[in-house]
Chains A and B, each alone.
Chain A
Amino acid sequence: MTSAHTLPPRVTDEKRGRKLLGGIALPVGILALLIAGSVLSEQFLTARNLTNVLINMSIVGIIVVGMTFVFIVRGLADLSVPAMVAIGALLALGLQPALGSLPAAMFGVAAASCAGLINGLLIGYARLNPVITTLATGTIVLGVAQAAVGGVIVYGDSPGLQSFLTGRLLGVPVIVLIFLAVALGGHLLLSRTTFGRWVYATGANPDATKASAVPLRFTKGAAFWMTATLSGFSGVLLGLTLQTARPGVGTGYEFDAITAVVVGGVSLLGGFGNMPRALGGLLLVTLLSNIMVLNGIATESQGLVMGALIAAAVALDVYLRRRGGAS
């Protein structure tokens, strides 16, 4: 009864804080970075550099779309991303001699998708801890993929696909178009479909959602399946653009994706956030790292900045939630 009376004003506070964080802070931050970037480096505001930023965003961006679902469904995070990226890239290139370029690429996505299905079953249906589960499946998948393709570095031989992906359509790099299509699809799935509603509800209050006849286990599992499939797809694109892949090719993608989602203000505690926010977070993070690279900041220092950013964003999220009395 006490909470019934004290809750409304606190939640208003939370709303205000969240509006500040997501509604204004994100665009303001991006704008500030654009200004800072053009002041700090002459190369920054060139079409070539900004195109590079977009291309860099695209590979991670496809993973961010999946990771956003994982966050909102209160699945914590998917740490099998590097393995899924690697399996996608390794198979897409390594199987080319046997299957041909396109079937090999599809096989890469399918393999990641199957591994994602295992993630989904273990996390959604067997209710295992997502962090430990994805860490374990990731390690296993990577091992299997390495064994399957044999060598350490795999080279591709599909110049046609490579030039298509790195080429442009109506002036926009094809890979960016692919990312935008995935992002739009993810956005619509999350905001306009029954499944999207289930995702929010599951993250907001799993008990009440289960009691409302929602297939809770399916919803949670599907978020992980999607993330793995998209990561595999992303890996395939990466492999085809580079025409070379090694098992470590996906390293760091999980961290980049998580950073983007968290900085975008999507709650690690579930039930809150949306696709535009997550992608805004991605843009901010990508710009920041681009500026640091252009200004010759050492890799170690870049890590420091990114680490601090993610810690600050999570702390702010938890703080706002506590104030809101939701946890």
Chain B
Amino acid sequence: MEGITKAFPGVKALTDVDLTARAGEVHAIVGENGAGKSTLMKILAGVHTPDEGTITLDGEQVRFGSPLEAKQNGIGMVYQEINLVPDLSVAENIGLGNMPASGGMIRRKALHDRAREVLEELHTRIPPQELVGRLSVSQQQLVEIAKIYARQPRIVVLDEPTSSLSHHEAEALFAVVERMRNSGIAIIYISHRLREVLEISDRVTVLRDGRMIDCRSAQGLTPKEMISLMVGRDLDDVFPKQAVEIGEPVLEVRGLTRLGVFEDVSLTVRAGEIVGLAGLVGAGRTEVARAIFGLDRLDAGQILVGGEEIRVRSPRSAVRAGIAYVPEDRKRDGVALSLTVKDNIALPVLHRVSTLGWVLRRPERELAQQKAEDLHISPPVVDRPAATFSGGNQQKVVLAKWLATNPKVLILDEPTRGVDVGAKADIHTIIGELAAQGVAVLMISSELPEVLAVSDRVYVLHEGRLTAELSRDDADEESVMTAATGEGAAA
């Protein structure tokens, strides 16, 4: 891949990126969240077409118009999520879309023989007749790889294949990767686990902000070097940070556990304080926030607001206790797009603008109008459906809705994702003002500079556990990334 450039409206996702994968090598791609790894791989897989640049396969220039074309040209993708049919057997899954058949009937024996052959070549011990749904996640991952391998690909891309595997299970996966490499396949390996990258790969390409920063041999590279290559960027966004007097603890969370997702997470947010919750994608940040807000079930732990323990069984009880949550997935959990801005804003506070269930339209409108103006929603027309507003303004609608509840604790999950620069600055200003009014703010963001600039304190999650608590002075890109990649103990 050469000179690949891809822009989405408002963002340049990739700028002039080169990538060469050789037959029989494992080539790792590393970078922060949003560095462009996934976009690059989606271009290779034919999901996106590049704006500029060329893809050359075995010396021949190719252009994939669809994922199917890429597949036919020997590109195999293994994504993080498992794409198998749980109610079919391993053999059927491996043969899916390519069944040996005669006269419209599937030849079961040929199907099983072929699956067994593939599984044996990869030295796995998964019985071909077993139902996929009965396998462990790691075994399913191996079946997924076997399925790709059965099509005799030239390039196999593995996107975070170990994110849900234990170390022992990951070892089994590495053995399979090694065998594929030895059979002459070019492997592109994306992972946040830097030690694992060094263990398995021959070369490493570092992406940052959509550009290729470096491509080096894995020999002699250290995790520390990789981190500094990943984060070493200039800060060109300016975040305003007000000095605010910090008060008593408002939100206290102790030993929060959701089995298999996060474990023993304890944190405190004080009045007027903005606390960042950092970590890589999949570290459990959103899950912790959802659990505090009552959207997901908890297995253990205590939540205290203003020193009193609360039981959150649903968002209703969380809101009653004074917690507000601006969700990560705006379109799913944030706004009802077909409703007007007014209806969206008033939704959690209808009891305040009604008597005995009868909505008083004047106060309802005034409340919505006031919030829309406070937050500079543009245009400030509250009677239009939320869908007619830009992403940044929709996000402000969600914020307005939660500010209308006068929360004591505000949890923000990726509050500026997919938001244009102007709206982003507005949102930062609003967050600062809220803190100044004594609201306790817990902010999750995948943009490290944003977390660092806005936060008074930063907690770092790695694979569901808190690995660091850093004061504003101690937190910098390196210290956070070190904790986020789980390199804290080694460094």
Contact = CB atoms under 8 A, between A and B. Distances in A.
A207 B336 CA distance: 9
B351 A194 contact: yes
A1 B336 contact: no
Contact of A271 (B318, B336, B359, B391): B336
B347 A209 contact: yes
A196 B346 CA distance: 13
Contacts of B347: 197, 201, 209, 212, 214
Contacts of B350: 194, 197-198
A205 interface: yes
Given A211-B315, A215-B316, A5 B339 contact: no
Contacts of B466: none
Interface stretch (A7-15, A26-34, A226-234): A7-15
A200 B336 CA distance: 9
Contacts of A46: none
Contact of A204 (B293, B315, B339, B394): B339
B391 A208 contact: no
A204 B357 contact: no
B337 interface: yes
B336 A8 contact: no
Contacts of A11: 385, 387-388
B388 A208 contact: no
Contact of A210 (B8, B315, B351, B389): B315
A215 B339 CA distance: 18
A173 interface: no
Most chain B beta-carbon neighbours within 10 Å: one of A7, A11, A205, A208: A208
Most chain A beta-carbon neighbours within 10 Å: one of B338, B351, B418: B338
Interface string B378-413: 000000010111110010000001000000000000
Nearest to A188: B358
A192 interface: yes
B339 A207 contact: no
A197 B346 contact: yes
Contacts of A5: 9-10, 390
Contact of B348 (A15, A204, A205, A212): A212
Given A192-B358, A197-B347, A212-B401, A205 B391 contact: no
Contacts of A3: 331
Interface in B289-334: 293, 295, 314-316, 318-320, 325, 327, 331-334
A192 to B, nearest CB: 6
B115 to A, nearest CB: 36
Contacts of B346: 197
Contacts of B361: 192
A194 B315 contact: no
Given A213-B315, A213-B316, A193 B343 contact: no
Contacts of A272: 338
B354 interface: yes
A204 B10 contact: no
B387 A324 contact: yes
A4 B8 CA distance: 11
A205 B295 CA distance: 15
B332 A208 contact: yes
B335 interface: yes
Listed from nearest, the 5 A-B pairs whose CB atoms lie closest are A4-B391, A205-B336, A204-B336, A213-B319, A5-B9
Interface of B: 8-11, 293, 295, 314-316, 318-320, 325, 327, 331-339, 343, 346-348, 350-351, 354, 357-359, 361, 385, 387-391, 394, 401, 418
Given A11-B387, A207-B333, 5 more contacts: A2-B8, A4-B10, A4-B394, A7-B387, A213-B319
